[in-house]
Structure 1
Amino acid sequence: MSATVKADVTAAYGKQAQPRLIHITPVKGTFYYGSCDGTFYAGTRFQLTPGSTEAEQVALQDDGAVMKYLIDRPGTGWTYLASDTFPANPKGCDAVAEIPSHLSALWNDCRS
């Protein structure tokens, strides 16, 4: 996986989040990526980077502890798909219906 995938996933989530999140990056060791039937999936937790605004800090405080899942269907680019529950389900990403079960297994159920 390239750094471009992480950057694209991060940018896509940041643009779709409310408020918009510019100063974020994936938490080290929590980035998962794979494909199923030509569709790409990614999952990660995000953390703030220097320069974050108060609105970004509040948004990540409220929602930042959970995994975010994004999807890239052919020709669409990355879009938000789902989030973990809070607190996280003990089944990890296997409990997220939108994530194919074989990817969840490859990702060790997103337990970093």
Structure 2
Amino acid sequence: MTAAYQRSFPRFAHIRPVPQQFFYGRCGGVRYAATRFESTPGATHEQLVGMQDEGSATKYFRGTSAGMWSYLATDGFPRAPHRCGDVPQIPDALAAAWGNCSVG
């Protein structure tokens, strides 16, 4: 997912998924994932400032037939009431299985 997000937003060269903020599943034979990102060592001041907003939003991905990941969407800010359940690219059944991407 990190590489897929960086392909869409190359300015974020120093990021990683936030621990325990990762969702993965299959629906209809298609792989999906969701995570938030945080900066890693080596991030520039510009990247750190950019991640202040980007890091608070969950990113959504879909697995490709080639085994790669493609970036689908970012949830809004502030988050919608049903979190990933309000992201049209994520199947409703999967959002429900993920508890609408609620963490602790």
**TM-score, reference length from structure 1:** 0.84
Q: Distance in 2 between matches of 1:91 and 1:62?
A: 20
Give the structure 2 partner of residue 4 of structure 1: none
AA aligned to 1:11 is A
Post-superposition, which runs of at least 4 consecutive aligned residues in structure 1 deviate over 6 A? none
Q: Deviations over 1:14-69 (max 9, x none)?
A: 222142x2211111111001112221111001011111112321221232210000
Who is 1:65 aligned against? 56
Match of 1:17 in 2: 9
Q: Which has the higher helix share?
A: 1
How many residues matched? Answer: 103
Task: Find the aligned partners of 2:53 and 2:101 in 1 and give their Cα distance.
Answer: 20
Q: What residue in structure 1 maps to residue 78 of structure 2?
A: 87
Could you tell me which residue of structure 2 aligns to residue 6 of structure 1? Answer: none
Deviations 1:64-97 (A, max 9, x none): 2100001113126211101110001121100001
User: 1:41·1:70 contact (CA, 8 Å) conserved in 2?
Assistant: yes
User: Hey, which of these two has a bigger chunk of strand by percent?
Assistant: 2
Give the RMSD, CA atoms, in angstroms. Answer: 1.4
Aligned-pair identity in percent equals 43
Listed as ranges, the gaps of 5+ residues in structure 1 are: 1-8
Q: Structure 1: how far apart are the matches of 2:46 and 2:30?
A: 33
* Runs of at least 5 residues in structure 2 that lack an aligned partner in the other structure: none
